[in-house]
């Protein structure tokens, strides 16, 4: 089966990781049997995983940051320090002026400062540059927008979220059995959580497994309003993440594609936009940590 079908299926699963094989077949225009076989093959190799991620606000994580780290000498010890902290959800080796990039999600600006201080204290760390997210515009790794104010979760909802964090495509029959309700009630609960932005279920490409799908980080410096740029990005295939940031860039983007040629073409399209005054890229070379789930703190009455 062609790489093009795989790319289409991954894109569809990044939008809805629980889409049925029939729904996926309709979206990509391929036979259901072929779609089922390819999805099972992708999941079986570990190159793609369906994960459920609770909204950071639901976890009390209100401060999100992109951290670039320059290291003197081998980076193993710094990688270990970054991977060991709960604050990091993503740690990768990159090309360019920095050696490592991490995404940190913490509960306050003070906690972020402490995490950065711990990072700066590592012997081989030469420089740390931080971008604070002001708004996550697009992400296949978390629910879009702010958590809806009318969403309230109970113990059953929390249990469903935890089960889906372990297996994003767990059948509703099994989910229902695990939490003690009917399949239709479980389906309604999950739908409410997704609609309310409390939960997002999507495909994540595990690039450390030899998937062969390169990823590129992009920092944009803009002039004028960013709405045209973010609207343009929303229509582009392969855009996995877009965030407005405070720091040396106005937007930070993650692009995924089936080839470096495709990534280059996307960056050329971005350079052609009048609002883009500067573009910096870095290749993701090796992913050491990619874990967006975190236990939800229970509150006692």
Q: Given this model, what pLDDT does residue 97 score?
A: 94
pTM of the model: 0.83
Residue ranges of domains in the chain: 3-45, 63-141+206-290
Quick one: which H or E segment has residue 101? strand 100-106
The SS3 call for residue 17 is: coil
Domains 3-45 and 63-141+206-290 share a fold: no
Q: Given this model, what pLDDT does residue 237 score?
A: 82
Looking at domain 63-141+206-290, its CATH class is alpha beta
Residues of the chain above pLDDT 70, percent: 94
Residues ≥6 apart with Cβ < 8 Å to 154? none
Task: Tell me the mean pLDDT in the region 77-86.
Answer: 96
301 has a pLDDT exceeding 70:
no
The closest of 127, 137, 144, 141 to 220, measured between CA atoms, is: 137
Q: Given this model, what pLDDT does residue 295 score?
A: 57
Q: Average model confidence (pLDDT) for the chain?
A: 90
Task: Tell me the mean pLDDT in the region 185-205.
Answer: 90
Q: Given this model, what pLDDT does residue 120 score?
A: 97
Q: Given this model, what pLDDT does residue 52 score?
A: 86
Banded pLDDT at 22 (limits 50, 70, 90): very high
Banded pLDDT at 289 (limits 50, 70, 90): very high
Banded pLDDT at 212 (limits 50, 70, 90): low
Q: Given this model, what pLDDT does residue 143 score?
A: 79
Q: Given this model, what pLDDT does residue 299 score?
A: 46
Give CA angle at 252 (114, 209), nearest 5°: 85
CATH architecture label of 3-45: Orthogonal Bundle (1.10)
Contact of 22 with 52, CB cutoff 8 Å: no
Q: Given this model, what pLDDT does residue 2 score?
A: 60
Least confident of 89-103, 150-164, 238-252: 150-164
Question: Hey, which residues does 206 pair with through a beta bridge?
Answer: none
Q: Given this model, what pLDDT does residue 298 score?
A: 47
Other C-beta atoms lying within 10 Å of the C-beta of residue 54: 27
pLDDT in tens, 31-50: 999 999 999 998 888 878 88
Q: Given this model, what pLDDT does residue 152 score?
A: 85
């Amino acid at each position: 089966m062609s790489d093009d079908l795989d790319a289409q299926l991954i894109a569809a699963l990044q939008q809805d990781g629980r889409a049925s094989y029939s729904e996926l077949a309709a979206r990509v225009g391929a036979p259901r049997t072929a779609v089922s076989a390819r999805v099972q093959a992708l999941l079986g190799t570990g190159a793609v995983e369906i994960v459920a991620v609770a909204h950071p606000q639901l976890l009390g994580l209100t401060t999100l940051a992109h951290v670039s780290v320059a290291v003197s000498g081998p980076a193993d010890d710094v990688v270990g320090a970054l991977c060991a902290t709960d604050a990091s959800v993503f740690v990768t080796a990159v090309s360019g002026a920095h050696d490592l990039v991490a995404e940190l999600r913490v509960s306050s600006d003070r906690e972020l400062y402490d995490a950065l201080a711990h990072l700066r204290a590592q012997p081989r760390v030469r420089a740390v540059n931080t971008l604070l997210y002001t708004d996550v515009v697009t992400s296949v790794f978390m629910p879009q927008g702010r958590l809806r104010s009318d969403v309230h979760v109970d113990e059953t909802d929390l249990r469903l979220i935890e089960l889906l964090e372990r297996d994003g495509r767990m059948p509703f029959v099994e989910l229902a059995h695990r939490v003690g309700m009917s399949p239709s009630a479980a389906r309604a609960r999950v739908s409410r959580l997704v609609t309310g932005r409390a939960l997002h279920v999507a495909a994540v490409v595990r690039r450390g497994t030899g998937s062969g799908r390169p990823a590129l980080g992009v920092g944009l410096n803009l002039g004028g309003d960013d709405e045209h740029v973010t609207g343009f990005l929303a229509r582009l295939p392969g855009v996995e993440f877009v965030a407005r940031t405070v720091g040396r860039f106005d937007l930070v983007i993650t692009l995924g594609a089936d080839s470096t040629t495709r990534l280059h073409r996307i960056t050329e399209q971005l350079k052609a936009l009048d609002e883009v005054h500067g573009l910096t890229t870095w290749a993701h070379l090796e992913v050491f940590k990619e874990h967006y789930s975190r236990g939800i703190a229970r509150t006692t009455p």
